[in-house]
Amino acid sequence: MNPWRLVAILALVLAFTLGTVLVLQGCKNGPATRSRGEVVAADTADFRDDLCDFTEPDLTVTSTGHVFVAWLSYDGQADSILAATRDDDGWSTPFDVTTAPGRCFSPRLAADLDGGVWLVWSAARDGQHDLFARHWCAGQWSDVERLTEHPGPDTGPAVTMDRAGNLWVVWEAFRDGRFDLFARVRSPEGWRAERRLTDHPASDVHATIACDPGGDVWVAWMSWRDGCFGDGNYEIYARRADMPLDDPPTRVSTSPQVDMLPDLVPLADGLALSWTNAYFRPRTIETLTVPNYDNWDDKIYQVAWLRGGRWTAPVDVRLTLHDEREQVVSDYASAVAGTLSDEIWLLYGFISVRGTSDSTWRTELCRVTPDAAGPSFDISESISGPGRSIGTAWAQGQLWTAEAAEYQGDLQPQAIMEDGTVIWGPDAVAELRQRDPATERNWIHVRALRPASLTAGRPLPERPPAPRHPVPEDLASQQITRKPRLTVSHSDQTWTVFYGNLHYHTDYSRDGRRRDGPAIQNLRSAYDVARLDFVSLTDHAEWMRAGEWWMLRKLTDLWNRPGDFVALPGYEWTSMVHGHKNVIFPDTHVAGPDSLHRAIAETPPTQLWEHLGERDAITIPHHPSHAIMRPTDWSFHDERYQRLVEVFQMRGNYEYDGAPLQHARQRFAFAPGHCVRDALGLGHKLGIIASPDHAGGLGLAGVWAERLETHAIFHALYERRCFGTTGAHMALYLEVNNAPMGSEIVSQGPVHLRARIHGTTPGLKITVVSDGTDVHSVSTADAVALLEWSDPRPLTATRYYYIRAEQTDSHIGWTSPVWVSPP
Ligand SMILES: [Zn+2]
Ligand SMILES: [Zn+2]
C-alpha cells in the first residue's frame, strides 16, 4: 500500500451521544435509526480508505497512556497491517507495519512496561503459515522477527506482558496430526524456545492469555476433548502457562451445553474469563438426524473470575433483545475489558433478525460483576458484517473499543419466508443490479466510552429470560467416529473413500437467517464435529465483498492440511431465472480475486462458464426442481464445467417426482421436469453428490480418491467418482463392465453391474436405476452388500445406470451413473 493513498478521517468528537454518532450510514432499506440512550462516546476516530478493506482490529493502551490500534488492510491483491497511535496531539496517520504485502491474519497487541507495544500476527510465507512479531517504541519499529518455523499452520496468536517485562505469545498449531496450543516467551535477553501447552488428541484452539496481579500468566482455550469420549461438546479450559504439561488443566465451563470463544482479561485482584454458551441443534429432516455444531440456539455469555488460583462458578449474561420478534442467528465477536475493580465490560456482536426481511449486525455492551450482569446497552448496529474481532482496553476511566464498521451503501437482501425458506424478492434483484459489492469497504471505528454515562444511560428493556433448551441425551450416541478407511481397487489404482460438504454457507452469505455462523466456526465444526475430510465454503457471490472473498480464500489455504483435511475454494452463483449452482475450484491459485462471478436475475449460465474461461472448476446445480427458489434451467449445459448435480440437501430429495424424502410436500414449490432424472434424461452426464446447504441441513458428498489432497479430491469429483448420501457415512461404489462410476463407456456385449454398498445400519434396499426406471431391486438384512447384476435388455442406445441404496433408518445413498453406449 502507498502511504499517500491512505486517507484517515479522524473525528475527535467530545461528548457526542451514541445516538448521534451511530446513525446507520448509507442504509437504504434498514430499520429506522433508534435512540441508543445517553451513552457518551468521549472520543471517536474513523480510519478508512476508499480502496482498502479494513478488518480485524486490535487495541491496547501503552503504559504511558497512549491508545494504539492495529488492523488488517486488504487492497484487492494482498494484506498489509496498519497501525495508528493517539498521543496528546491526537491520532497519527496510520503506518504500514508489514514489510511486504501478503496473506495475514489476527494482528494482536500487547503494551510493554516502557511505553512501547508488541505486535504479533500470523501470515503465509514460503508456503506455510507462521507467526511474526515487531516491537514499536516512540515511533520506531524493530525488525520483523519470525516466531515459528514448523510446516504445519501456526495461527490465532494471543499476547500479554507479564510483570517482569516478558512478552508471552500463545497460539494454536497443527502438529503431529492435531491442534494444540504452544507458547513462546520473549525476555529482555531474547526469545526462549517454544513450549507445548496442551497435549491431548482432541483439538485445543482459540487461545486467550492474561497476567494476573500476582504475576502468573494464565491461558484459556476451547477444547473438543470431551467430544472424543462421547460427551459431544466444546468446553473451556484454563491453566497457568508455566505449569508442567502433565499437570491437568482446569475445566472452567460447567454446563452440558456447548462453550466456545473464550476471552481472558486482567483485573485489579484477579482475572475474568468470558465465553459463549449455547444449545446446538442436531441437523434434522423428517426422521433423520445428524450432529453438527453450526446450528445453535439459545445463546448466552458466561463469565468466571479467578480468585486465589480458583475459578468461580460462571455468571450468565443474556443477550437483551429488543422485542419478542428478535432472534439471534450468529455471533461474530466478543471481548472483555476489565476495570480497576472486579467488574468487567463485555462486548458482544451478533446478527439480529426481526421478521423476514430485517436483519442487522448488532453490538451490545454489558457491565458484569461476580454478583450480577447488566444492564445491557445497544452500542452499534450495521446492515452488513463488520468483522470478527473487537479490540478493547480499559484506561483512564474509559472503555476504549475498536471495531470494523460496515461500508456505506449496503443493501439488505429482501426475503420472503416460504415454509421456513428464505428467498430474494424481485426488489432485491433490482437493487442488486445497482450494487457492486466488489467496491465496498469496511473501515475501523475507534471510540472511548465513559462508564458514568453508561450507567446513567438508558439501558435495553429488561425481559424475562427464555427457558433454555435441554441437551438431548442421545447426542452423544450420534457422534461419528473415524472408522478404518474403506478402499476400492481398480486396475492398478487404489481409491479411498473421503467425505465432505460442498455446499456450506457462512454468515458472509447475508441470508444468515438460516443461522449460518462465522467461517472459522463452520470449518471447526466440519472437522471436529462432523468429522469431514473436505469442505468448500460456498457463500453467495452476489452479496460477498471482495474482502470477504479474500478472507474465505485465505481460510481455505490455512485449513488445507494434505492427508488430514482439504478445503476447496468455492462460491454459490445464484440466478433467480436460471437456477443456483455452486462453483468449486481445486485451489486458490485457480480461484483468484477475479474468479468470482456475480449473477443478476437473467444472467445465463453461459456467462458464468465464459467467465471461468480456462480455469479448472466444477459447477454443481442444486435444488434443481424447486419452483420458488428457482429450478435449474437444463436447457443450458456445459460438459466441461457442469460435471455434478446435488441430489439431496436441507430441503430434501430432488431425484425424481415421488422420490423418498422428496423436497416439495407443497406442490406449488415443485417444478415438474427439472429433477435429476429429468436432466439425465436430456443426456446431461451428471455425477451425483449431496450437501447440506445452510446450517442445520443434511447431506454428504463422498468421493473415491487417490489421496486426501486438494487436486486428488477435485480430480475424483471431476471424474464423477463420487456419491451422495442424506448425511449417513455410507459408502457406495459402482462399476459397469469394470468401468468405475462416472465413466462413459462403449459396450460390445452384455452390460454387467458390480456395486459395493457399506451402510451404517443393518438392512439395505438396493435399486438399480436405468434411464428413469427402477430396473432391479434387492434387499438384505446386512449393512454391507455386494451386488452383481446383468441387464437382460439389449443395448440399442446410450443408457445410464446408477444405484440408490435405502437404509431401514430412512437414510439414502446414490452413486454417480455410468453411461453405456452400443458400439
Ligand atoms: Zn442456492
Ligand atoms: Zn446455498
Ligand at shortest distance from the CA of 506: 2
Ligand 2 centroid, distance to 552 Cα (angstroms): 16
Closest ligand relative to 622 C-alpha: 1
Closest CA to 124 of 709, 710, 557: 557
Report pLDDT for 756: 97
Centroid of ligand 2 to alpha carbon of 630 (angstroms) = 12
pLDDT interval class at 42 (50, 70, 90) = low
Report the DSSP pairing between strands 358-368 and 373-382.
Answer: antiparallel
Distance 536 CA to ligand 1 centre (A): 14
User: For residues 190 and 389, which has the higher predicted lDDT (pLDDT)?
Assistant: 190
**pLDDT score, position 39:** 44
CA of 308 to the centre of ligand 2 (A): 50
Q: Which ligand is nearest to the CA of 424?
A: 1
**Mean pLDDT score, 382-400:** 75
Residue 327 · residue 343 · CB < 8 Å: no
- What distance in angstroms lies between residue 380's CA and the mean position of ligand 1's atoms? 31
pLDDT of residue 443: 87
Could you say which ligand is closest to the alpha carbon of residue 581? 1
Pick from 685, 651, 688, 683: nearest CA to 670: 651
- How many Å lie between the centroid of ligand 1 and the Cα of residue 169? 42
For ligand 1, the distance from its centroid to the CA atom of residue 581, given in whole angstroms, is: 7
Report every protein residue that has its C-beta within 5 angstroms of ion ligand 1: 580
Distance 580 CA to ligand 1 centre (A): 5
Specify the higher pLDDT residue, 401 or 1.
401
**Amino acid 289: pLDDT:** 75
User: Are residues 128 and 151 in contact, defined by beta-carbon separation less than 8 angstroms?
Assistant: yes
Please tell me the distance between residue 539's alpha carbon and the centre of ligand 2 in angstroms.
7
Centre of ligand 2 from the C-alpha of residue 678, in Å: 22
Distance 191 CA to ligand 1 centre (A): 50
Strands (DSSP E) contained in 670-808 are: 687-690, 700-705, 722-725, 731-736, 739-740, 744-746, 751-758, 764-770, 773-780, 784-791, 799-807
Whether 582 has a pLDDT exceeding 90, the answer reads yes
Ligand nearest to the Cα of 571, by number? 2
Ligand nearest to the CA of 632: 1
Report the distance separating Cα 359 and Cα 412, nearest Å.
Answer: 8
Res 426 pLDDT > 90 = no
Rounded to an integer, what is the distance from CA 783 to the centroid of its chain? 34
Of the candidates 29, 728, 683, the one whose C-alpha atom is nearest the C-alpha of residue 382 is 29
313 Cα: distance to centroid of ligand 2 (angstroms): 41
Is the pLDDT assigned to residue 1 strictly greater than 60?
no
* Placement of cell 501447552 in the chain: 197
User: Cα of 432 to ligand 2 centre, how many Å?
Assistant: 18
Compute the distance from residue 156 Cα to the ligand 2 centre, in Å: 29
Q: Supply the pLDDT for residue 425.
A: 41
Compute, in degrees rounded to 10, the torsion defined by CA atoms 582, 588, 593, 597.
Answer: -20
Cα(143) to centroid(ligand 2), Å: 45
Q: pLDDT band at 683, cuts 50/70/90?
A: very high
Task: Give residue 211's identity as a one-letter amino acid code.
Answer: C
Q: For the residues 449-465, what does the mean pLDDT come to?
A: 53
Q: How confident is the model at residue 89 (pLDDT cuts 50, 70, 90)?
A: confident
Cα-to-centroid distance, 524 and ligand 1 (Å): 23
Residue 446 and residue 402 in contact, taking contact as beta carbons nearer than 8 Å:
yes
- The model's pTM is 0.89
Question: What is the CA(693)–ligand 2 centre distance, in A?
Answer: 5
Q: Which ligand is nearest to the CA of 514?
A: 2
Nearest ligand for residue 575 CA: 1
In the reported structure, the alpha carbon of residue 582 is separated from the centroid of ligand 2 by a whole-number distance in angstroms of: 8
563 alpha carbon – ligand 2 mean position (Å): 28
The number of the ligand nearest the C-alpha atom of 574 reads: 1
Residue 386 Cα to ligand 1 midpoint, Å, equals 24
Ligand nearest to the CA of 573: 1
pLDDT band at 609, cuts 50/70/90? very high
Distance 75 CA to ligand 1 centre (A): 29
Q: Which three cell numbers stand for residue 322?
A: 429488543
* pLDDT given for residue 718 in this prediction: 98
Ligand 1 center from residue 757 Cα (angstroms) = 30
Identify which ligand lies nearest to the alpha carbon of 692.
2
Kindly report the average pLDDT of the chain as a whole number: 83
Q: What is the pLDDT of residues 730-783, one digit of tens each?
A: 999 999 999 999 999 999 989 999 999 999 999 999 999 999 999 999 999 999
Q: Give the per-residue pLDDT at 346.
A: 87
Taking the CA atoms of the chain, what radius of gyration do you get in angstroms? 27
Residue of 434 and 214 predicted with greater confidence = 214
- How far, in Å, CA of 588 to CA of 554, rounded? 8
Average pLDDT rounded to a whole number, residues 216-241? 83
Distance 389 CA to ligand 1 centre (A): 29
Alpha-carbon dihedral angle through residues 622, 628, 633, 634, given to the nearest 10 degrees: 60
Q: Report CA(512)–ligand 2 centroid distance (Å).
A: 11
Give me ligand 2 centre to Cα 503, in Å.
6
Phi and psi torsions of 715, nearest 5° = -65, -45
pLDDT of amino acid 386? 54
pLDDT of residue 50: 84
CA 422 to centroid of ligand 2, rounded, Å: 11
Q: Which ligand places an atom closest to the C-alpha of 516?
A: 2
Q: Ligand 2 center to residue 504 CA distance, Å? A: 7
Contact 168, 181 (CB under 8 A): no
What is the model's pLDDT at position 7? 33
Q: Which ligand is nearest the CA of 505, by number?
A: 2
User: 544 C-alpha vs ligand 2 centroid, how far in Å?
Assistant: 13
Alpha-carbon distances, residue 628 vs 357, 574, 702 (angstroms): 17, 13, 28
Q: What is the pLDDT of residue 415?
A: 35
- For residue 538, which ligand has an atom nearest its CA? 2
213 C-alpha vs ligand 2 centroid, how far in Å? Answer: 49
Nearest ligand to the C-alpha of residue 539? 2
C-alpha to C-alpha distance for 657 and 531, rounded to whole angstroms: 32
Q: Are 552 and 537 in contact (CB under 8 A)?
A: yes
Is a pLDDT exceeding 50 seen at residue 692?
yes
Indicate the range of 166-170, 445-449, 477-481 predicted with least confidence: 477-481
pLDDT at 363: 78
Which cell is 230 given?
A: 462421547
* Mode of pairing for the β-strands spanning 167-175 and 154-161: antiparallel
Tens of pLDDT, residues 268-320? 888 999 998 887 767 777 778 776 666 667 778 899 999 888 999 998 888 77
Q: Which ligand is nearest to the CA of 503?
A: 2
Whether residue 410 is predicted with pLDDT greater than 50 in this model: the reply is no
Mean pLDDT of 635-658: 96
Mean pLDDT calculated for residue range 253-281: 87
- Please tell me the distance between residue 759's alpha carbon and the centre of ligand 1 in angstroms: 29
Confidence class for position 171, pLDDT limits 50, 70, 90: very high
pLDDT value for 317:
85
Q: Give the position of cell 487417490.
A: 706
Cα 580 to ligand 2 centre (Å) = 8
Whether residue 206 contacts residue 260, with contact meaning beta carbons closer than 8 Å, is answered with yes
Average pLDDT over residues 655-663: 93
| Cα 337 to middle of ligand 2, angstroms | 38
**Of 361-365, 426-430, 628-632, 672-676, which range is least confident?**
426-430
| CB contact set of 241 (below 8 Å; sequence gap of 6+) | 168, 170, 183, 197, 209, 217, 218, 219
624 vs 287 pLDDT, higher one: 624
Residue 772 has a pLDDT of: 95
21 band by pLDDT with thresholds 50, 70 and 90: very low
At 10, give phi and psi (nearest 5°): -105, 120
Ligand nearest to C-alpha 580: 1
As a whole number of Å, the end-to-end CA separation of the chain is 62
* Main-chain dihedrals φ then ψ at residue 328, nearest 5 degrees: -105, 125
Backbone φ and ψ for 4, nearest 5 degrees, come out as -70, -20
Would the CA dihedral through 742, 748, 751, 757 be positive or negative? Answer: negative
Expressed in angstroms and rounded, the spacing between residue 503 Cα and the centre of ligand 1 is 9
